[in-house]
Structure 1
Amino acid sequence: MSYATPEATHRFAKRFAQYKDFYMAHDGLLFSKLGFGTFKKEPYKEENYTFDYKSALKEAIKSGINLIDTAINYRYQQSEKEIGEVLEALFASGEVNREELILCSKGGFIPLCFPFPKNPYTWIEENIFQKALASKEEIELDQHCMSVAFLKDSLHRSLENLHVKALDIYFLHNPETQLLRLGKEAFYTQIEAIFEAFEVWVAEGKMASYGVAVWNAFFYDEGHSEHISLEKLYEIAKKIGGDGHHFRYIQLPFNIAKTHANTFATQKMSDGGLYTPVQVAHKLGLGVIGSASLLQMHLFKKPFKPEIGYLLDSNMQLHSDVQLALQFARSTRGLLSALFSSHSPLHVKENVEIAQINAVSMVKYNLLYKVDGR
């Protein structure tokens, strides 16, 4: 098989039967409650290429993580390529099977390449305009494009980088970037064309499902220029694919400082009610993956208060605020998985230590929202 299967992901999870509350089912698959991410901010900095994710990724899989998340533009395609090298070696050795892992990537941002091209506009001219993948008008802020041809090319590049035949989830990456330029009506018309293409690529065996990854677009009020209606996306998918459509996931930020997914009721549904993005996702049967679980380490500028530590880990088995932050994200009802990024195998091993304890009970978890904690 070219992608994850229920049988294989269940088999993978059974190897870690000692873990507590660490796997969650959706669409037949078992997801590890922590996912391995490969985003690094400020990709133009040379320091982002003096390390790689390869050893850390090996440790993550060895430690029971089966969700791997990336995007073609992360570190100018280097993150995908490093994942590809690791997976190729692990599959060849038999240490893990393709069907046991849930692989996600994203398309929408112009990836460029590493080493960084001397003139990025020349790269865009040669790799996008000359190949008729998009017009200049379809590129926003010199970095984002949602033409179907561009997304198709991005998907094929991602598959090549990752050394796989298909992805389990392909996310449309931050489509809100195009909202102000297009306007709401044209934006949703473009989404319809994209989802139609995604359904074709599912049928061709290039992806098993698709989703939308955003930053604040699901949190903004309806009148905001970057607000996206989750129910509207679902209706478009259903219009194209019927009840058997493959729009199955969303990805959004969630961490101890940014809890909007569970606390901001900004999504209006056809019943007239206002709901949080997680509530809407559940009503529609969509899986939710949380990004920025550590907020690029900005959560740790000062120590967490003792009350936070007690509620998250009353037996005091965890020894760092990083572990506490991941315990918070992992314990959230409604999230399939919480993504974190690290290039240190030791840090990965420490992070997964939270699987040795139970997730936080609902009573204690709800109290966390009443603590002015850090």
Structure 2
Amino acid sequence: MATASGTWAFRDRFGDRFGRTYFRRFGPGVVSSVGLGTYLGDPTDAVDDRYRAALVTGLETGINLVDTASNYRCGRAERVVGEAVREAAVDRDRVVIASKAGVLPFDGERPDDPGRYVRERFLDAGLVDPADLAHGSHCIAPGYLDAMLDRSLDALGVDTIDCYYVDSPERQLAVRDRGAVYDQLGAAFEALERRRAAGDIGGYGVATWEAFRVPSDHDAHLDLAEVLSRARAAADRVGVEDHGLRAVQLPFNVRMADAFTVEAHGVGDTAGSDESGGAGGAGDGPVSALEFCHREGLSVFAAASLGQGDLVHSGAIPGPVEAELAGDSPAQRALNFARSAPAVTAALVGCSRPEHVRESVAAGTFDPLGAAAFDSVFE
């Protein structure tokens, strides 16, 4: 697993090559504020090869954060990540590996009959109770998460995953009410607290697309204050002193800034505030997802920091905003916008080609916006 001594040694390996805030605290040590994502791409051997080369390039040139999931590229992504970590000239304890579970994964390729595959591999096999299934493809029940974590550890070929996300819990809102989904998260967190105590994960998080950046009256909304409360309760049930909820993953970029602008998350008693301040005092109004995470010390990992490729072209970033950002290319400036936001520990970027990774690494040689300059973008 990633360690304090290992990740600090990774940082020191690059001296003063990167900007002052390129490496940021996470878990027991530090992590690069640009991370490698593995979501996009066809489930083919050729794409595997490109990903492997790109991941090795990133690990050897200054990125020590890799994000993946059991379902990405039909299960191939985790296997390639594990291969790249072993191939790169970087020790395992220098690399922060994040994975996630929620969407039922295929095994290497998309089956001709996905419904039959799910029925035979998950329902008939007893891995998933039909009552826990949403959209025919999503489950966050404790037993399922346990099985997927074991699968991820095996696919990655590691003893510990540094951050393990409950993926897309808002999908469950299609089949049950919000209170029931919070109950599901509480049960999931309890299972993950036990795996954390066993050393199988370093910590856990929640990865979402909509839940934390939409208004409170939106059908997909989940309140971070209640999510955090469920993590604290789970830790109490397991008998550990502090909860293991470490991270939130959500989309954030210059065109998709809802996590900064939409105030939809409670503070005060629900969020566990105390006399020292913490998550705000009683009577505070709702805050944005980024503000909530900043107050509570939760790390935010920005998905879609390049708008899934939409922000890499000239003119894609609004002129007045782009003028404030450092970088030699639109892609670098877009990454540096995401890295500038409060509570954002790292901006995740796709890494299917080595040349794209090199450009992303170079973004870290520039400093992001300061707090005042970032705020001024929204005035």
1:1-150 correspondence runs (5 A): 3-18=1-16, 19-20=18-19, 21-40=21-40, 49=47, 52-90=50-88, 95-150=89-144
Q: Which amino acid in 2 is paired with 1:347?
A: H
8 Å Cα contact 1:250/1:286 also seen in 2: yes
1:221-300 correspondence runs (5 A): 221-242=215-236, 243-270=241-268, 271-272=282-283, 273-300=285-312
Q: Which residue of 2 aligns with 1:352?
A: 361
Deviations 1:247-305 (A, max 9, x none): 11111111111111221111122334211111111222211111110111123466145
CA RMSD of aligned residues (A): 2.0
Q: Distance in 2 between matches of 1:61 and 1:9?
A: 12
Q: Distance in 1 between matches of 2:25 and 2:192?
A: 23
8 Å Cα contact 2:123/2:129 also seen in 1: yes
Q: Distance in 1 between matches of 2:136 and 2:313?
A: 33
Q: CA deviation at 1:308?
A: 3.3
Deviations 1:312-337 (A, max 9, x none): 12xxxx33211111111122232100
Structure 1 segments of 4 or more deviating over 4 A?
Answer: 46-51
Q: Which residue of 2 aligns with 1:337?
A: 346
Gaps of 5+ in 2: 269-281
Gaps of 5+ in 1: none
Q: CA deviation at 1:361?
A: 3.0
8 Å Cα contact 2:52/2:81 also seen in 1: yes
Q: Distance in 2 between matches of 1:131 and 1:63?
A: 43
Q: Which amino acid in 2 is paired with 1:286?
A: L
> SS state of the match for residue 356, structure 1?
coil
8 Å Cα contact 2:294/2:342 also seen in 1: no
> SS state of the match for residue 39, structure 1?
coil
Q: CA deviation at 1:35?
A: 0.4
8 Å Cα contact 1:234/1:284 also seen in 2: no
Task: Normalising by structure 2, report the TM-score.
Answer: 0.89
- Percent of aligned positions that are identical: 30
Q: CA deviation at 1:100?
A: 0.7
> SS state of the match for residue 104, structure 1?
strand
8 Å Cα contact 1:52/1:82 also seen in 2: no
Q: Across the two proteins, how many residue pairs are aligned to each other? A: 358
Q: 1:367 to 1:54 in 2, by over 3 A?
A: same
Q: CA deviation at 1:164?
A: 0.6
Q: CA deviation at 1:16?
A: 1.5
8 Å Cα contact 2:47/2:352 also seen in 1: no
Q: Which amino acid in 1 is paired with 2:294?
A: H
Q: Distance in 2 between matches of 1:258 and 1:265?
A: 14
8 Å Cα contact 1:268/1:275 also seen in 2: yes
> SS state of the match for residue 76, structure 1?
helix
Alignment pair present for 1:310 and 2:323: yes
Q: Distance in 2 between matches of 1:136 and 1:48?
A: 36
- Find the partner of 2:167 among 163, 170, 173: 173
> SS state of the match for residue 186, structure 1?
helix
Q: CA deviation at 1:47?
A: 10
Moved more, 111-120 or 62-71: 111-120
Moved more, 266-275 or 64-73: 266-275
Moved more, 162-171 or 146-155: 146-155
Q: Distance in 2 between matches of 1:269 and 1:362?
A: 22
Moved more, 95-104 or 120-129: 120-129
Q: 1:51 to 1:141 in 2, by over 3 A?
A: farther
Moved more, 238-247 or 274-283: 238-247
Q: Distance in 1 between matches of 2:372 and 2:226?
A: 33
